[in-house]
Amino acid sequence: MRIVHVANFYGPRSGGIRTAMHALAGQYLEHGHDPVLVVPGERPGVSVVDGVRVVTMAAPRVPLSGGYRAVVRTGQARRLLDALRPDRLEVSDRTTLVSTGDWARESGVPSVLLLHERVDGVLRAFLPGGGPDGRIREVGARTMPMVADRYNALALPLFDRLVATTGYAAAEVERLRQRPFARGLRIPPLHRVPLGVDLDLFRPDRNTPEAREQLAPRDAALVVVASRLSKEKRVDLAVDAAAQVLHDGRPLRLVVAGAGPLLPALRERAERAGLPHRFLSFVPDRERLATLLACADVVVAPGPIETFGLAALEALASGTPVVCSSTSALPEVVGDAGAAGAPEPAALALAIHEVLAREVTARRAAARARAELFPWSATGDAMLALHRRAFFEHPEVLPDSGARTVLAGSLG
């Protein structure tokens, strides 16, 4: 079975989507299938990464995105799919490449849209109405879900199935089902398939005294953030929360792994707060990243609109508890192996204090145990089971009882 997976916002320094695409492709390859990844780049080309074909389409950079590219000439995507002749189509994009759903329907190819983000969350992060001003924020809270639902009403029916990684990601689809204007709309069945983690790469025994001493003094807590440094990730909240913990009297060092347009501003913010810090920029060496996560005392994942949080799961696999935003999907993933707080510096600082107060051996064991619920093999098995099923013959209008959900793995 040839499974073609297309995506925008994939690049040399991209995070979750790139990791998920390659991990899934690796699972398909192990099971004897033919995965092909189709992604944007500076120029067209074909390469092979770990035995998987990666086909690049020429695409321009997206302004203010930190270097990401997006396909704007969707006709080239359709022509490429004609040439590749997939048996199944997976799409990890909610922008220009949703049009490939039309191609799949016309070509008789079953299609799956993977919901890696929530449209309402992206709108709140980047458009006026999501900011701190009370009245503007109140207006945005009312209007942006409706704008997102109108967009999803156009985009989601182009596909045969939807896959969400968490309940938080799925909630946007469930809300659409309740809208009066969606009555009679063919909203595809929704399946729940959590992402996974490389349990062999990310593991607690990478935490050695030698590696730890290179990152922070013995008497200082090592607080780590692994994130793209862009607006929606709200790394500023982690910087301010760490500064608050320091001012509360607990010595610490903040280490940030990630690149993005906000790097200079975030470094300046840490310096103004008198916070011992180190900004590593993007860490391309996955083993070095795994060592960093294992040596941390706590990893902070402050993004308020995260729909899964692969970096947080990698931290758990490394034996490190995670502090996250209570408004995101991360509490579903982290469970008791960390703590959640409102996306505000004071609340996240309290969560950091709470985690650091736990007995070290117990908190590290709990983190690893949680991560072991999410092997990539389970994700691959669930997706292949989805692709094998003869469920693409569906009624034009689904019953009002809601989504038919497949839960792969445990989200606690």
What are the helix (H) ranges across 214-343?
235-247, 263-272, 286-295, 310-317, 330-334
Q: What is the mean pLDDT of the chain?
A: 89
Q: Do 2-197+377-388 and 204-371 show the same overall fold?
A: yes
pLDDT for 409: 34
Average pLDDT value for residue range 309-331: 97
Kindly report, residue by residue over 221-231, the tens digit of the pLDDT: 999 999 999 89
**Biggest CA pair distance of the chain:** 63
Q: Which of 7-21, 150-164, 276-290 bottoms out in mean pLDDT, i.e. has the lowest?
A: 7-21
Cα 355 to Cα 68, 299, 317, 352, 363: the distances in Å are 35, 10, 16, 5, 8
Where do the domains of the chain lie? 2-197+377-388, 204-371
**Domain made up of 204-371: CATH architecture:** 3-Layer(aba) Sandwich (3.40)
pLDDT for 390: 62
pLDDT for 37: 97
Average pLDDT value for residue range 173-201: 95
Our measurement of the distance from residue 166's CA atom to the centroid of its chain's CA atoms, rounded to an integer in Å, reads 11
Q: Residue 389: phi, psi to the nearest 5?
A: -70, 150
* Total count of residues recorded for the chain: 412
Kindly report, residue by residue over 199-208, the tens digit of the pLDDT: 999 999 999 9
Residues in Cβ contact with 158 at an 8 Å cutoff, skipping those fewer than 6 apart: 98, 99, 101, 102, 105, 111, 113
Taking the model in full, what pTM does it have?
A: 0.89
What is the rounded CA–CA span in Å between residue 113 and residue 307? 15
DSSP 252-270: EEEEEE--STTHHHHHHHH
Average pLDDT value for residue range 6-12: 85
What is the rounded CA–CA span in Å between residue 278 and residue 215? 9
DSSP 45-63: EEEEETTEEEEEEE-PBPT
Domain 2-197+377-388 has CATH 3.90.1170.50: no
pLDDT for 9: 84
Higher pLDDT, 409 or 235: 235
pLDDT for 128: 55
pLDDT for 404: 30
Pairing of strands 88-92, 111-115: parallel
Q: Give 211's DSSP letter.
A: H
Asked if pLDDT for residue 132 goes beyond 60, the answer is no
Q: Closest by alpha carbon to 247, among 353, 355, 358?
A: 353
pLDDT band at 32 (very low <50, low <70, confident <90, very high): very high
Kindly report, residue by residue over 370-406, the tens digit of the pLDDT: 999 999 999 999 999 999 876 554 433 332 223 333 3
Q: Which of 160-164, 345-349, 368-372, 388-392 bottoms out in mean pLDDT, i.e. has the lowest?
A: 388-392
Asked if pLDDT for residue 126 goes beyond 90, the answer is no
Higher pLDDT, 11 or 24: 24
pLDDT band at 13 (very low <50, low <70, confident <90, very high): low
pLDDT for 75: 92
Kindly report, residue by residue over 360-372, the tens digit of the pLDDT: 999 999 999 999 9
